[in-house]
Every structure is written in structure tokens, then in C-alpha cells.
Amino acid sequence: MNLVDWDLGNVSHGITWGGVDEAGRGAWAGPVVAACVVLDHSTIRKWRHVLEDVRDSKQLKPARREALASELKSLLPAYAVGEVDNLGIDRENILEATFMAMRGAVSQLVTKPRILFVDGDQAPKTGLPERLLVEGDATSCAVACASILAKTHRDEIMRHMDDHYEGYDFGRHKGYGTARHREALRSLGACAIHRISFAPVISAQKTLEHVRDELRQSLEKCDSVLELHAWVEVHLRPAYGALKLVWVETLRRRYATLLTRMVAGEEGLR
């Protein structure tokens, strides 16, 4: 049975259904990305010749995957992509960050499906009826479509990162744990998009206490909510790879304290 027929055999006629999958969960750098797609019977009838070519994204060569992603975006009734960056991954843990990306994708859908097929064995709790499918991207056409969109979206992000962080070769390995990536980490240390809660990154980090101290000082100088938000992008994110996770957690707690105080102060002035 091909993937299209599996979907048709598991959804009643007239019901819209969706598929959700992630990309980048096992990478050492960059975001985790989830895509959610919506299918219906009329789309299957009209575009079956395209949808029958859909496979788990890992089984497709890059050029074919990119071409299919472009076609899917033009024919699907609805689709959306959600992301959680490396700071969010380190804050929450990779499993919860993956679920957050899935929920983010679902929340952006213009058309919501009646049932959602989810790749994996744990529910992201999107608010829709969910059916979990281990190896769902090799089972359901909707999940495989989501796999393709998530993978191509994340690959494009990592190619862009390659222009900003020379020497890491992100455009080639996309942040995964290849020998080339490990070698770059040993030589250069972690950069701003690395996940500093992941063991291979921790072992290769070149942490700098003076950077931590400078971040503390710059954080204390923030006088408004807008300045706090800017501090994350202007100060914390560029220095992220030089920080121990425990330092980040301490900074995060202080940030939360300052934010609470400033929000309360601004509300008191209204």
C-alpha cells in the first residue's frame, strides 16, 4: 500500500486531515522545525500523480526534495511551519521544543484538519484529535508531506547560517553531528546557534567568564521592557556559544526578575 492509499484508508470521506513532522531534532546547532500540512479528498483526486511521489524526506535526493516541496506548497489546501531556536531548545529541552514547534505550526494553519497524524510515539497536544504514528513519514502521505516541508525549510535556514558562521560548514551538514562538524567545534568552539545543552557541544566549548560578566553588566543597564528584549538579540545571542548553560540559566532568572519588575512599573503608570 502506498502512502496516499494509507491516508485514504484511514480517513472517512469528506473529512480533512493533517500530518505533522519535525526536522533537526538530533542536530547540534540551529533550530528544530516542524511543518503541518492539510489534505482532503478533492486534493488527492486532483493531484494524486504528484502526491504518489511523496516519501519520507530522508529517502529523497536534495534536488527532488526541493522540487517536491515547491509543488506541495502550490497544491496543498493549507500548510504552516513552526520553529524553536537553539535558545528555546536549551531552555525547554529538545522534546518539549519539538512539541512547541509542532503546536506553532498547527496554530498558524488557515484551515484546521479534523484529525492530525503525528510522527512519533508522544503527543504534542496541539488541541486537535491526534493519532500517533511511529515512522509516520514512511506510513502517511500527510506526514511525509510535512517531513519534506520541515526538512527543506530547515535546510534553507542552515544554508543561510553558513554565510554568517564561517568555518562550520553548516550548508553541508546542516548542524548534524558529522565528523566535519565535530572537527570545526574542536577548532573553533561553539558559535551563537549551537545548542549548549547537547553533550558534544559542551565537550568542545571554549567558555569565557569575561563574556559572562559583560552580559551581566549590560543586562543590569536595561531600563525598559524594550531594552530587555533588545538585550537578548544584541548581547546574549551573539555571545551564546561562549557561555555555560548554568550561566545562561542565571542570566535568564535575572532577566525574568527585571522583566516582571518593569512590566509592573509600566502598568502602574497607566
CATH at residue 133:
3.30.420.10
Residue 269 has pLDDT above 70, yes or no: no
Residue 268 has pLDDT above 70, yes or no: no
Cross-strand pairs, 131:
117
Q: For the segment 10-35, what is each residue's pLDDT rounded down to a tens digit?
A: 999 999 999 999 999 999 999 999 99
129 and 216 inside one domain: no
Task: Name the residue among 35, 30, 42 with its Cα closest to residue 18.
Answer: 35
Residue 137 has pLDDT above 80, yes or no: yes
The x, y and z cell numbers of residue 187, run together, are 577548532
Residue 138 has pLDDT above 70, yes or no: yes
Q: For the segment 111-122, what is each residue's pLDDT rounded down to a tens digit?
A: 999 999 999 999
224 and 120 inside one domain: no
46 and 142 inside one domain: yes
In a domain, residue 200? The reply is no
Q: What domain range includes position 144?
A: 3-161
In a domain, residue 235? The reply is yes
Q: pLDDT averaged over the chain?
A: 95
Q: How many domains does the chain have?
A: 2
- Give the span between the Cα atoms of 132 and 140, in whole angstroms: 11
- Give the span between the Cα atoms of 55 and 176, in whole angstroms: 21
66 and 143 inside one domain: yes
Single out the residue in 161, 192, 223 at which a domain terminates. Answer: 161
115 and 20 inside one domain: yes
214 and 139 inside one domain: no
The x, y and z cell numbers of residue 77, run together, are 489546501
Please, are residues 196 and 30 in contact by the beta-carbon 8 Å criterion?
no
* Mean pLDDT along residues 190-207: 97
Cross-strand pairs, 34:
22, 82
3-state secondary structure the chain: CCHHHHHHHHCCCCCCEEEEEEECCCCCECCEEEEEEEECHHHHHHHHHHHCCCCCHHHCCHHHHHHHHHHHHHHCCEEEEEEECHHHHHHHCHHHHHHHHHHHHHHCCCCCCCEEEEECCCCCCCCCCEEEECCHHHCCHHHHHHHHHHHHHHHHHHHHHHHHCCCCCHHHHCCCCCHHHHHHHHHHCCCCCECCCCHHHHCCCCCCHHHHHHHHHHHHCCCCHHHHHHHHHHHHHHHHHHCCHHHHHHHHHHHHHHHHHHHHHHHHCC
